[in-house]
Structure 1
Amino acid sequence: MVGAAAAGDVARFNTLYGELLQRYWRPAVTINGVETTVFDYAAMQREAGPLMDDIADTLEAIDPAAIEDPDERKAFWINVYNFTAMRMVIDAYPVDSITSFKISLIKHPWSKDAIKVGGRDYSLSEIEKEVLLQRFDDPRIIFAVSCAAVSCPDRSAEPFAGERLDARLDELIRTFFRNPAKGLSLNRQTNTLTLAWILEKDDYLFEEYPDGVLGFVKPYLDAGQRAWLETHPARLDYFDHDWTLNDLAQADGR
């Protein structure tokens, strides 16, 4: 539930952000040999300035503390993170990565104050680490927040919503692990399980799982993969993270 004072602004944010996604989201293409959903950032940069300004103005007026339901609050902050990453890209576009010097001279955009919510400045790092992960204690969040990179889990054409959030997060992870170029690849000949870099980067989130990262991953695998891993001691490896922008203009062959 959302408190009455915030309900209108949150609904407006969801509507406007949903419109932005639906206009510029594109189905999966291949970039650097990796299949990934993309956005038409060139068209977004040309056309969506007023819409993005409306979204930012709406966020500035929202009091997040008035969002009472935990799943709605979690979904709200995931959407804020993903919108903010896109806004940072568009403010500097054309760029080929969110790590571009045009966005941050130290190539670390996560520490920059990048969005106002409820009149307060937030960086991407603060939203992910201090708001989402600390307050909700849900490691699945790292699969939902996207730095607009090829190696990140695929984005969809609709915002996250509190309703059915658990089911959507689980399906997002299952889909990601079915992508053998960036999510998960099991090589039975070498007994090697290669996983997304984000699982290595944030491995502390899985310390309480039996078998750590592997204990988190197993429930999301198909039955054959799970059965094989139960009887074979797999060596964990991780994909290199491709920071190339998930941009339609970067598609292979364009």
Structure 2
Amino acid sequence: MKKITIILILLLTQLGFSQSTADFFTKSDAFFKSYVVNGKVKYNAIKKDPVALNELLDMAATITVSKSEPKTYQAFYINAYNLAVIKGIVTKYPVKSPLNIKGFFDKTTYNLGGKVTTLNDLENKILRKNFPNEARFHFALVCAGLGCPPIIPEAYKPSVLGKQLQRQTVKALNNPSFIRVKGKKVQLSQIFEWYKEDFTRNGSEIDYVNTFRKEKIPSGAKVSYYPYDWSLNRVK
């Protein structure tokens, strides 16, 4: 009888875990669909009615995800990062740039997945450290600046995460404003400079970019980095 009780408790726990993550992804999807337009965020509208955002972050605080289910883990924390960025902006809105908010990336904390973390630690210690070969994170994590690849009007979901990351990476690396090619010279986003190790594990930065490009960049192209645009990615 005791053994049956333990099994029932484990099954109910797993059911609750599954249900909470499913609810989180469903409600996150509805939120992003409502407040993201053409890669930009309706911060003003969220500021006026923050109920949905606050509900999602409250949910994210109580959800537990495991690295043993990597797609769920990654999708949860990508969404959590993007929601936390939006929360950080909305809290101080109106603001022209995330850099105008002191400690935006390294001091302000959020309770996500039962852990108190900053945006920097979420990106570097929770995602990049645990999945060092997944550089496509950089095209999904949106820092609120226009220099970032655009935020998408949907949640990242475990069942289609690979396709979503691939789509966003291909989109960014074929965008002439993001990868600026002129003859044998190429200007890359400073994302490639800041996280160089992520993009050069199996070759050069050009090798990485060409993996996703339709029109390949010459292997001997001279690489430089254009200044990052930290202007707020807001819907005007």
Q: CA deviation at 1:3?
A: 3.8
The equivalent of 1:237 in structure 2 is 224
Amino acid at match of 1:198: I
Long gaps (5+) in structure 2: 1-12
After superposing on structure 2, the runs of 4+ consecutive aligned residues of structure 1 that deviate more than 3 Å are none
The equivalent of 2:83 in structure 1 is 83
Q: CA deviation at 1:53?
A: 1.6
8 Å Cα contact 2:60-2:113 kept in structure 1: yes
Structure 1 distance, partners of 2:84, 2:209, is: 28
Amino acid at match of 1:150: L
8 Å Cα contact 1:110-1:123 kept in structure 2: yes
Structure 1 distance, partners of 2:111, 2:190, is: 29
8 Å Cα contact 1:3-1:68 kept in structure 2: no
The equivalent of 1:128 in structure 2 is 123
* Of 2, 13, 18, the match for 2:29: 18
Q: CA deviation at 1:81?
A: 0.6
Structure 2 distance, partners of 1:5, 1:178, is: 41
Structure 2 distance, partners of 1:155, 1:173, is: 12
Structure 1 distance, partners of 2:139, 2:124, is: 13
User: Whose strand proportion is higher, 1 or 2?
Assistant: 1
Give per-residue Cα distances to partners, 1:203-243, cap 9 Å, x unaligned.
Answer: 01133222x21121111111xx32x615xx21001121000
Residues paired across the two proteins, number? 223
Structure 1 distance, partners of 2:52, 2:167, is: 29
The alignment status of 1:208 with 2:219, answered yes or no, reads no
* Of 198, 207, 219, the match for 2:211: 219
Structure 1 distance, partners of 2:197, 2:61, is: 32
Task: Report SS of the residue matched to 1:64.
Answer: coil
The equivalent of 1:53 in structure 2 is 54
The equivalent of 2:153 in structure 1 is 157
Structure 2 distance, partners of 1:243, 1:131, is: 24
TM (norm. structure 1) is 0.82
Task: Report SS of the residue matched to 1:7.
Answer: helix
Task: Report SS of the residue matched to 1:194.
Answer: strand
Structure 1 distance, partners of 2:29, 2:110, is: 18
Give per-residue Cα distances to partners, 1:55-84, cap 9 Å, x unaligned.
Answer: 12111111123x742112111111111110
Give the stretch that moved more between structures: 152-161 or 108-117: 108-117
Amino acid at match of 1:208: R
Long gaps (5+) in structure 1: 28-36, 250-254
Which runs of structure 2 are paired with 1:79-228 in the superposition (5 Å)? Answer: 79-100=79-100, 103-104=101-102, 108-137=103-132, 138-181=134-177, 183-188=178-183, 191-210=184-203, 212-222=204-214, 225-226=215-216
8 Å Cα contact 2:145-2:229 kept in structure 1: yes
Structure 2 distance, partners of 1:77, 1:216, is: 24
Q: Identity of counterpart residues, as a percentage?
A: 22
The equivalent of 2:6 in structure 1 is none
Amino acid at match of 1:4: L
Structure 1 distance, partners of 2:176, 2:232, is: 19
Structure 1 distance, partners of 2:106, 2:235, is: 27
Q: CA deviation at 1:16?
A: 2.1
1:196–1:118 distance in 2 versus 1, CA, 3 Å: closer
Structure 2 distance, partners of 1:54, 1:143, is: 26
